[in-house]
Amino acid sequence: MGFVTNESYEGSIESFLSVNEWVSDSEAPYLASLFHIARLLDLKVKAGQALPAGLTMEFRMLFSELRKCKPATELSDDDGFDDEIANI
């Protein structure tokens, strides 16, 4: 797995969404806020201005909260052990 070093804030959200198909309409409030903040941060970067600490912190916190919404993956118990025991 690689990573991108020259991606915009908005682009990073789009990349995240492209590989995380679990994101649905339920997460729309997180996404709306993230995209809004990302656009503001990208404008600051393009203008060569300092990034406001509050906006970058809010972006990070929202992204963390969005990642916490990911459903837990169920681990499969199908390792063949039960079949082996049944054959004894």
The predicted pLDDT at position 3 comes to: 62
On the CB side of 55, how many CA atoms lie within 13 Å of its CA? 16
CA distance 9 to 25: 21
Q: Which of 76, 64, 55, 69 is nearest to 22 (CA)?
A: 69
- Pick out the chain residues at pLDDT < 50: none
**Structure confidence at residue 28 (pLDDT):** 94
- To the nearest whole percent, how much of the chain has pLDDT over 70? 85
